């Protein structure tokens, strides 16, 4: 399908439909939750088992989700969320403020607490995430300064999940977006990248959005081209209905920004 421009996202992306479609977590939807379980396990690997840690983490293209922070909040005291669409900031704020109608992340939180060996601590985990998120900023990964006029000290870690493949119309744009965001992390710092592979579209409600078709090799090459050394990359096949997406696989890469 034709590339979905960012202003179309701003006008038509419905965060509630997105969350209901992809993040409703239940045993009845186990195969549909496969991509999310894979991400949660690999984020646990990166932040808990591999001990990637520091003071500040910047999340690029947070959308309306918080699952990506559940392991990271154990390793970083300050998390800065970012997104292009204001409706996504507002949806995240609803959860942060515990407002009525906020998405219920508790099944996902309990799953991550189980990975960490303490399912009973899920309410404490939610509060830890709320305390850790210090700011939500506007971000445009296609710009050389993705955060616009906002100037931040280089972060210890960048995290990005399901953002770049939606924001970039072709591989050269994807490569330059990775270079753009690399300016936000200090040399020796890490990038944890959750990507979707072999996808051309996904639907939010009845609204289709384009996705850049990526293969594992193109992700690895783009990371290296942006000045990162790939430490590991895990990939798995997924099976979601074509009524929702044509994605074939997902991957998580952990890379370190080269010192020079």
CA distances from 68 to 84, 161, 253 (A): 17, 8, 14
Tell me if 39 is assigned to a ligand binding site. Answer: no
C-alpha count within 13 angstroms, C-beta hemisphere, residue 72: 31
Tell me if 34 is assigned to a ligand binding site. Answer: no
Tokens of 45: 């690997």
Tell me if 61 is assigned to a ligand binding site. Answer: yes
CA-only gyration radius of the chain, Å: 17
Distance between CA atoms of 128 and 126, rounded to whole angstroms? 5
- Beta-strand pair 155-161/185-197: parallel
Tell me if 213 is assigned to a ligand binding site. Answer: no
Q: Of 170, 172, 180, nearest to 61 (Cα)? A: 180
Tell me if 202 is assigned to a ligand binding site. Answer: no
Distance between CA atoms of 208 and 214, rounded to whole angstroms? 18
In our burial notation (b when 16+ CB lie closer than 10 A, e otherwise), range 174-198 reads bbbbbebbbebbbeebbbbbbbbbb
Distance between CA atoms of 123 and 107, rounded to whole angstroms? 11
Tell me if 141 is assigned to a ligand binding site. Answer: yes
Do 60 and 72 form a contact (C-beta atoms < 8 A)? no
- Beta-strand pair 207-210/201-204: antiparallel
Tell me if 42 is assigned to a ligand binding site. Answer: no
Q: Of 2, 11, 13, nearest to 207 (Cα)? A: 13
Residue positions forming the annotated binding site: 18, 23, 61-62, 67, 83, 88, 140-141
Residue positions forming the annotated binding site for S-adenosyl-L-methionine: 18, 23, 61-62, 67, 83, 88, 140-141
């Amino acid at each position: 399908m034709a590339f979905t421009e960012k202003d179309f996202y701003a006008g038509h992306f419905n965060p509630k439909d997105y969350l209901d479609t992809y993040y409703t977590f239940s045993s009845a939807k186990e195969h549909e939750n496969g991509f999310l379980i894979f991400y949660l396990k690999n984020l646990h690997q990166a932040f808990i088992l591999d001990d990637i840690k520091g003071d500040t983490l910047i999340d690029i293209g947070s959308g309306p989700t918080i699952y990506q922070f559940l392991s990271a909040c154990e390793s970083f005291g300050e998390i800065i969320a970012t997104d292009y669409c204001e409706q996504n900031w507002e949806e995240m704020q609803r959860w942060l403020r515990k407002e009525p109608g906020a998405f219920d992340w508790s099944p996902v939180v309990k799953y991550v607490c189980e990975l960490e060996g303490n399912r009973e601590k899920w309410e404490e985990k939610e509060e830890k995430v709320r305390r850790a998120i210090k700011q939500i900023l506007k971000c445009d990964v296609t710009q050389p300064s993705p955060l616009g006029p906002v100037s931040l000290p280089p972060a210890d870690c960048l995290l990005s999940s399901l953002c770049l493949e939606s924001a970039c119309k072709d591989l050269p744009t994807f490569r330059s977006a990775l270079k753009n965001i690399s300016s936000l992390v200090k040399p020796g710092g890490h990038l944890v990248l959750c990507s979707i592979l072999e996808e051309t579209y996904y639907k939010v409600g009845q609204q289709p959005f384009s996705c850049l078709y990526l293969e594992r090799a193109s992700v690895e090459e783009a990371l290296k081209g942006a000045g990162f050394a790939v430490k590991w990359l895990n990939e798995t096949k997924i099976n979601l209905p074509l009524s929702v997406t044509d994605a074939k696989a997902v991957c998580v890469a952990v890379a370190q920004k080269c010192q020079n």
